[in-house]
């Protein structure tokens, strides 16, 4: 992907990719004081479409509110900016990354207190492709249970998609890679299943689809919400409850959902095969239903697609 062809939206203006820069003393760089979104862009028969754009922008501003970051743009203005960025992106640009953060102190100094810092907002479009891998989408990802614990809601604003929260995810993902795995699942302070490094977790066990509740310390995923809706339309009610680690090993199917991961089956967890070690029938059914939606082939959910 020739990123020099792409434009980046920065504080109300489209700039060349190579000119999208921030100062080394930017507060968000030092303290993780920012919020972001990840949004997929899909090719449909009617042209390029951004998946659930408005919902992402609503969550973006809600995350900013939680860390007292004042974003000077409305949901509508941010949606327009996202469309503008996608229109100028290369053909393989399939992933939008809006980010807002505390910027440079007007006096040029740095400190923990962000109150005198301005807010900066940027939106870029890049290529993501298959996040975990194309082979894993069919045969299942190899996953470990990370030794890194998910922070509790007493120590972090877990419902905010905040940049600082993701150091925890980075550490877990590095651990997975070093152990030869594709991804990691994190437990929370209670020892129950929370989420992956950037994905929500679902499992199929004894005929039920289960997923951890928000109280388990997970992000309220937009893809997660989409899958719960699609499962209901297919006749399956998703039960939100605490999930013990051992239930992952004895599940018939386990899969991850997220903007990047979409619907990715899990083949093994800590070296133990999940079901038959590849995508099961429920996972495949949801993968297919989700693919129809994002390609614009499901008339029930055209409202989820923002045509550019």
Active site residues: 161
Extract the tokens encoding 236.
């399956």
* Rounded distance between C-alpha atoms, residue 258 and residue 267, angstroms: 17
Distance, CA of 41 to CA of 86 (rounded, Å): 8
Which phi and psi (to 5°) does residue 27 adopt? -60, -45
> In Å, how far are 191, 236, 304 from 282, measured between CA atoms?
27, 10, 22
Strand 208-211 vs strand 238-240: parallel, antiparallel, or unpaired? parallel
Phi, psi of 157 (to 5 degrees): -85, 85
From CA 66, how far away is CA 165, in angstroms rounded?
A: 13
Concatenated DSSP letters for 45-81? Answer: TTEEEEETHHHHHHHHHHHHHHTT----S-HHHHHHH
Q: Which of 2, 86, 15, 11 is nearest to 51 (CA)?
A: 86
């Amino acid at each position: 992907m020739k990123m020099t062809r792409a434009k980046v939206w920065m504080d109300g203006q489209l700039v060349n990719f190579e000119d999208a820069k921030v100062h080394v003393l930017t507060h968000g760089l030092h303290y993780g004081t920012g919020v972001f979104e990840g949004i997929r862009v899909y090719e449909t028969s009617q042209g390029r479409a951004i998946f659930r754009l408005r919902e992402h922008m609503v969550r973006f501003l809600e995350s900013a509110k939680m860390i007292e970051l004042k974003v000077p743009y409305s949901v509508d203005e941010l949606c327009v900016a996202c469309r503008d960025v996608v229109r100028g992106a290369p053909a393989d640009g399939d992933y939008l990354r809006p980010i807002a953060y505390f910027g440079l102190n007007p006096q040029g100094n740095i400190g923990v207190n962000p109150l005198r810092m301005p807010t900066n907002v940027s939106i870029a479009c890049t290529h993501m492709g298959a996040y975990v891998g194309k082979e894993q989408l069919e045969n299942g990802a190899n996953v470990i249970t990370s030794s890194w614990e998910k922070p509790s809601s007493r120590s972090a604003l877990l419902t905010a998609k905040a940049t600082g929260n993701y150091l925890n995810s980075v550490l877990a993902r590095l651990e997975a890679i070093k152990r030869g795995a594709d991804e990691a699942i994190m437990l929370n302070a209670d020892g129950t299943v929370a989420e992956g490094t950037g994905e929500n977790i679902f499992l199929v066990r004894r005929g039920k689809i289960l997923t951890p509740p928000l109280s388990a310390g997970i992000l309220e995923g937009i893809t997660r919400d989409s899958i719960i809706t699609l499962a209901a339309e297919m006749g399956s009610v998703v039960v939100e409850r605490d999930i013990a680690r051992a239930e992952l090993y004895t599940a018939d199917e386990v899969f991850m959902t997220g903007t990047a991961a979409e619907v990715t089956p899990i083949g093994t967890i800590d070296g133990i095969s999940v079901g038959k070690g590849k995508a099961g029938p429920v996972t495949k059914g949801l993968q297919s239903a989700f693919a129809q939606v994002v390609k614009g082939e499901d008339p029930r959910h055209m409202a989820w697609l923002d045509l550019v």
